[in-house]
Amino acid sequence: MSDQPAPAPYDALLLLSFGGPEGPDDVVPFLENVTRGRGIPRERLKEVGQHYFLFGGVSPINAQNRELLQALRKDFAEHGLDLPVYWGNRNWAPYLTDTLRELAADGHRRVLTLATSAYASYSGCRQYRENLAESLAALETEGVEPPRVDKLRHYFNHPGFVRPMVDATLAALAELPEGLRAGAHLAFTTHSIPTAAADTSGPVPAHGDGGAYVAEHLDVARLIADAVREETGADHPWQLVYQSRSGAPHIPWLEPDICDHLEALHAEGAPAAVMVPIGFVSDHMEVKYDLDTEAAAKARELGLPVARAATVGADPRFAAAVRDLVLERAATERGAAPQRCALGALGPSHDVCPVGCCPARTPRPAAAGAAE
């Protein structure tokens, strides 16, 4: 009997991400993909694209996904997990439909999906599942038999995600002048979403003020703050704050914004702050611009010393966590009851998104969840 880790019934892993432009000519077409169906004028998209043009029209996300691909393949190979890893994006090449077509052509029939979003929300989970359903339907229209696709559970509280964020926070604190470190505030940042979307995030029992989206982020922030206190002996004040808001001004979104929070910290006499982007898997454009550019400029204007913690990116511990999640889900599919690793108060997330979980504004078919 083999002692190799068993991925069966799965025969491939799909890394599913947002995608981003890789040159100036890509920026507006990429934004047209992101905003498809919203009727946003091309001139407006050019204005939005200025964030990308500041970085040569290149989003860091694709390069970072290539690094994560390498980290996953290396970890799987070193631990005897015979599972090929593919990569597809929702909004830019390599496109999801093309990758699913490639998976089908290569003979894969059961595919697990790792989304580069760790938390429950419409934009962070349900929308990925809708894109999967759309792409799978496209293959069927072409006469291609699509593989069955499942999605890994949310991993926000897996130690392989949390511990790298703890270490990144400690490293960022060490960047501050020594006399300011003990009193530095921690600003845990994530993507702002409409409050209506937050309130209905997660399974129906989790719906309410902030829903699962806010509860999950608060749990991670508390885990990191507690670990930092244990390792430094300093009790750093902390708050969950938001960034990257978009959309109509009259629609309520989660607050406070990171820049407003920095102003408030300065006004109350905080000596320094560390921005900890717990809501993001990698240092993509919304981290590079909204934190490293915009928020950093606000801090300089205020005279408030700040540092920014790194995201988990391709950390080997995160790659190992993905392997753990793959083997956990595979064992569950085979009828076993594996140990489900999770930190904090919320416990491990569901494997299959239930009906009513993170509902869409306009109902659309979604794959990798309970039949609706």
**pLDDT tens-place string over residues 211-237:** 999 999 999 999 999 999 999 999 999
Per-residue pLDDT at 3: 63
Per-residue pLDDT at 1: 36
Secondary structure letter of residue 306 according to DSSP = E
What is the helix (H) or strand (E) element at residue 164, kind and residue range? Answer: helix 159-175
Q: What is the mean pLDDT of residues 256-265?
A: 98
Residue 54, SS3 per DSSP: coil
CA geometry: angle 248, 251, 254, nearest 5 deg: 110
pLDDT at 2 over 80: no
Identify which has the larger pLDDT, 96 or 36: 96
Amino acid occupying residue 94: P
**What is the reported pTM?**
0.96
Q: Residues near 144 by Cβ (< 8 Å), separated by ≥ 6?
A: 101, 104, 105
Amino acid occupying residue 49: G
The CB-based long-range contact list for 340-346 (8 Å cut-off, 24+ gap) reads: 341/158, 341/159, 342/157, 342/158, 343/157, 343/158, 343/159, 343/162, 343/223, 344/157, 344/162, 344/219, 344/220, 344/222, 344/223, 345/219, 346/157, 346/215, 346/216, 346/219
Strands 185-191 vs 238-243: parallel, antiparallel or unpaired: parallel
Q: Tell me the Cα Rg of the chain.
A: 21
Side-chain-facing half-sphere of 310: CA atoms under 13 Å: 13
Q: How many CB atoms lie within 10 A of CB 24?
A: 13
pLDDT at 252 over 60: yes
Residues 17, 23, 27, 29: is their CA dihedral positive or negative?
negative
- Judge whether 169 and 186 are in contact, CB under 8 Å: yes
